[in-house]
Structure 1
C-alpha cells in the first residue's frame, strides 16, 4: 500500500506544476516590466552573478559536446543573439530620475516577447515528447529533448540578461557622474 503513494505523489506534483506554470509565466511577465529602483550595488552583484552563470553555461555546453554534437555552437549562437537583444532592450528602457532615486522600467513588449519565447519552448518540448512517445524507445524519447532549441533559448536568455545587466551597470555609473 505505501508503494502506491509514491506514484500518486509524483502525479500530484506533475499536475501542480502544470497548474502553476501559467501563473509563474504571468508573474515573470509582471515582474519583468515593473518599475524598479536602480540600486548600484544590486546591479553590480547581478552583473557579476550573470557572468559566472554564463561561464558555467558555456562549460556545461562544451562538456555536452560528447553527447550532443554542436551544442556549444548552438549555445554561442543563442548567447550572441541574446547580447544583441539585450543591447536593444537597454536602449529602449525608460529611466526616471526622482527625488527618491533613479528608477528604470524595461520595455513591456520585449519582456512579453521573452516570456512568450519561454512559453513557446515549454510547449515545443511537450509537443516533441508527445510525437516521440508512441515509439516506446528510450533513444526516441531522448531525441525529444532537442538540444538545438534548448541551448539556443537558454543562451539567448543568458546573453540578454548579461548584456542588460552590464549595460545597466555602465549606464548607472554614467548617470551617477552626471547627477553629481
Structure 2
C-alpha cells in the first residue's frame, strides 16, 4: 500500500532545494576569487539601497523595527569597510580580480542561513495550523537587523569595488591592495 504524500511536501522540498542552491552559490561567490564585473556592483548598490529604504519606510510606524534596520545598516557599513580592507585585489592582463575574506564571507552566510533555518523551524514546528501574515514572518526586529547588516555590507562592499576600479592606473602592477598593503 502506497503512503499518500501531500502536495505541499513537494512545494516545501522544492523551496528547500532552491534555498540550499542559492546559499551554496552565495557562499562560493563570497569566498573565492572573482572577476570584477562592470554591472554587478551597480545592481547591488541600486537594489539593496532601494530595499533598505523601503524597509526603513515600512518601519517608521514601529520604532523598534526602525532601530533594528538602522542598527543593522550601521553594523553592515562597518563590516563592509572591514571586508574591503581584507580583500585581495589584483590587476592582470585577463582583467581585474578580487578575493574577499573567506572568514567574513562564511560568517555572513552562516548568519543569513541560520536566521532562515530558525524562522522556517518556527513556522513548520508551530503547534496547530498557523496563519502568519507577511509582516509577522519577516517583521521581526532580529530579522530586520540581520537584513540590514547584509544589505549594508553588500552596498558598502560594492562601493569599495567601484572605488578600487576607478582608482586604478593602467599598468600599475599585479597586487594593488590587501591586508599586507594597507
State the TM bucket, normalised to the shorter chain. 0.7 to 0.9
Q: Is the 8 A contact 2:65 2:139 kept in 1?
A: no
* Cα distance change, pair 25–49 in 1 and its aligned pair in 2 (3 A): closer
Q: What do you get for the CA RMSD once the two structures are aligned?
A: 2.8
Runs of 4+ in 1 over 6 A off after TM superposition: none
Secondary structure of the 2:32 match is coil
Number of aligned residue pairs: give it: 166
Instruction: Give the structure 2 partner of residue 95 of structure 1.
Output: 89
Is 1:173 paired with 2:171? no
- How far off its partner does 1:61 sit? 2.7
5 Å-filtered alignment, 1:1-20, equals 8-20=6-18
TM-score by length of 2: 0.76
Instruction: Give the structure 1 partner of residue 28 of structure 2.
Output: 30
Once the two structures are superposed, what CA deviation does each residue of 1:69-115 show, in whole Å capped at 9, x if it has no partner?
52111111111101111111111011111111211111111111111
- 5+ residue gaps, structure 2: 173-182
In the alignment, which of 104, 109, 118 is matched to residue 115 of structure 1? 109
TM-score by length of 1: 0.76
- 5+ residue gaps, structure 1: 1-6
- How far off its partner does 1:28 sit? 1.6
Secondary structure of the 1:134 match is coil
5 Å-filtered alignment, 1:148-167, equals 148-167=141-160
Once residues 117 and 14 of structure 1 are traced to their aligned partners in structure 2, the CA distance between those partners, rounded to angstroms, is: 22
* Cα distance change, pair 42–69 in 1 and its aligned pair in 2 (3 A): closer
* Cα distance change, pair 138–102 in 1 and its aligned pair in 2 (3 A): closer
- How far off its partner does 1:41 sit? 4.8
Structure number with higher helix proportion: 1
Q: Is the 8 A contact 1:25 1:115 kept in 2?
A: yes
Once residues 55 and 139 of structure 2 are traced to their aligned partners in structure 1, the CA distance between those partners, rounded to angstroms, is: 17
Secondary structure of the 2:25 match is helix
Q: Is the 8 A contact 1:77 1:155 kept in 2?
A: yes
Once the two structures are superposed, what CA deviation does each residue of 1:129-150 show, in whole Å capped at 9, x if it has no partner?
366x2376768xx867661111
- How far off its partner does 1:161 sit? 0.5
